[in-house]
Amino acid sequence: MKTLTKIAASALVGLAFCSVGLAEEKGEMDKAKMEEMMKKDHVMMKDGKMMVMKDGKSMIMDKDMTMSDGTKVMMDGNCMMKDGSKMMMKDGDMVMMDGKMIKGDKMKDDKMKK
């Protein structure tokens, strides 16, 4: 019985280490993906201001924009999604030029900052 308990405990410890390793690997993939997205043209709420990233240059948004899928992003951070729903962007939120929304909380993860 003791041997079976030891085997089960060892298996659980092994699974725990595998889970941690996979989580760290996934975090690194997410970080790389996020860095790649930051290089693409997008709009982003940063420090309460709407910013536009275009051709690698960041500038303050000076007019409302309509993305390729019909999503409208206003200078104040309000968005009218293609399905008609409305939302207010929060600091770190991004909208790609194709209308894809990326929530800023993904970037606030410690792994994203490193």
User: How confident is the model over 30-61, as pLDDT tens digits?
Assistant: 777 767 777 789 999 999 999 999 999 999 99
What are the residues whose beta carbons fall under 8 Å from the beta carbon of 103, sequence distance 6 or more? 90, 92, 93
pLDDT exceeds 80 at position 93: yes
User: What is the reported pLDDT for 111?
Assistant: 39
- The owner of tokens 């405990």 is 9
Q: Higher pLDDT residue, 86 or 34?
A: 86
Are 60 and 17 part of one and the same domain? no
Gyration radius (Cα) of the chain, Å = 21
User: What is the reported pLDDT for 86?
Assistant: 96
The verdict on residue 111 lying in a domain is: no
Give the three-class secondary structure for 46: strand
Q: Is 60 left (phi over 0), alpha (psi -120 to 50) or beta?
A: beta
Are 45 and 79 part of one and the same domain? yes
Are 33 and 15 part of one and the same domain? yes
Are 20 and 61 part of one and the same domain? no
Provide the residue range defining the domain that includes 63.
41-104
Whole-model pTM: value is 0.64
